[in-house]
Amino acid sequence: MTVKFTINGVGVESAAGANVLDTARRYGFEIPSLCHHEAVVPYGACRLCLVEITKGGRKKLTTCCNYEVLEGISVVTDSPAIRQHRAMVLELILAEAPDAEPVRELAKQYGVDTSRFAKAAGAGTAEKRDCILCGLCVRVCSEIVEVNALTFNGRGDQKGVGAPYLEQPQNCIACGACAWACPTNCIGFVEEGGMRKVVKWKRELPMAKDDQGRPFAPVFQLTHFKQRAKAIQADFYKKAPGDR
């Protein structure tokens, strides 16, 4: 079923069940966000995709990543109030992740060069690095990779992300999807000496070698993918991606 509504006065269409953010981006409207990826379920953590949505005559500011498209709503993606709130959110995020280039670039677009808030405790350290608790790593790990190695821990200003019980994640196959999805590049991903290490989770796993004897992927990762994709022929897993 198709749903019709407007964004900044322009008529748009989307399949029912889609969210406003993905639809807006498909039509070329720019809305910032750091916690959203179209492959996973929207979470609404970073609060940057604030827009103004009018539904049944009632106007309100809301995030649009977790707003399902509805017939007849009208969306405004930019206004002085929206910019002001986004700038403030960026100041908050910048204090959490002062060294993250993507955050700094986005902040600059909103006129935020420095944050008026003190650098968050632990920001930039090996423990916390530049994590902004967007939850993309957790969602990708559970929804896409389906190994559920990661979770949030604690709550409020004590909230963190990592393996259950803050131990080395036993389910982690070092596939690196979390590091790839991370908007602040704070997870870290190193391959050396036949081992792959996911730095933030302190997970280090031996890699399998291809038919040329070169290490190309962690053994656990290959085993997991074999189980999930039975149709692929067996020698697929003996070749490095470039040789297939």
Partner 1 sequence: MGKIRNPKELHSYREELLAKRTASRKVIAVCCGTGCNASGARKVAQALVDEIQKQGLAKEIDVRPTGCHGFCERGTLVLMHPEETLYQRVKPEDVPAIVEKTVKNGEIIAEHLYDDPVSGEKHVKEYEIPFYKHQERLILGKNGLIDPTKIDDYIALGGYQALAKALEMGPDRVLDEVKRANVRGRGGGGFPAGRKWETCRNAGRQQNALPPSGEAREGGSVPAEKRYVICNADEGDPGAFMDRSVLEGNPHAVIEGMIIGAFTIGSDEGYVYVRHEYPLAVKHLTVALEQAREKGLLGKGILGSGLCFDIKINRGGGAFVCGESTALMASIEGKVGEPRAKHIHTVVAGLNGKPTNLNNVETWANIPLVIEKGADWYTKIGTKSSPGTKIFSLVGKVNNTGLVEVPMGMTLRQIIFDIGGGIPKGGEFKAVQTGGPSGGCLPADKLDIPVDFDTLVEQGSMMGSGGMIVMDDKTCMVDVAKYFLNFLKFESCGKCTTCREGLRRLHELVTEITEGRATLETIQLIEELAATVEAGSLCALGTTAVNPVRSTLQFFRDEYLAHVNEKRCPAGVCKALITYEITDACTGCMVCKKRCPESVISGDKKQKHVIDTAGCIKCGICNDVCKFDAVRVY
| Position 97 contacts partner 1 (CB under 8 A) | no
| Position 104 contacts partner 1 (CB under 8 A) | no
Tell the smallest beta-carbon distance from residue 97 to partner 1 (Å): 11
Stretch of residues binding partner 1 (CB under 8 A), selected from 6-14, 45-53, 163-171, 181-189? 45-53
| Position 63 contacts partner 1 (CB under 8 A) | yes
Decide whether 86 or 196 has the Cβ nearer to partner 1: 86
Binding test (CB under 8 A) with partner 1, winner from 6, 22, 44, 224: 44
| Interstrand relation of 215-218 and 58-63 (parallel, antiparallel or unpaired) | unpaired
| Position 50 contacts partner 1 (CB under 8 A) | yes
| Position 157 contacts partner 1 (CB under 8 A) | yes
Q: How far apart are CA 79 and CA 82, in angstroms?
A: 5
Distances (CA, A) of 62 to 37, 42, 53, 56, 76: 18, 14, 7, 15, 11
| Position 154 contacts partner 1 (CB under 8 A) | yes
Decide whether 151 or 238 has the Cβ nearer to partner 1: 151
Give phi and psi for 140, each to the nearest 5: -65, -40
Closest C-alpha among 3, 12, 119 to residue 70? 3
Distances (CA, A) of 8 to 57, 58, 64, 85: 16, 16, 14, 18
Tokens of 190: 């190193």
Binding test (CB under 8 A) with partner 1, winner from 18, 88, 199, 219: 88
Give phi and psi for 63, each to the nearest 5: -75, 150
| Position 21 contacts partner 1 (CB under 8 A) | no
User: In the complex, which residues of this chain contact partner 1 (CB under 8 A)?
Assistant: 43-48, 50, 61-63, 66-68, 81, 84-85, 88-89, 92-93, 95-96, 116-118, 120, 132-133, 135, 151-152, 154-159
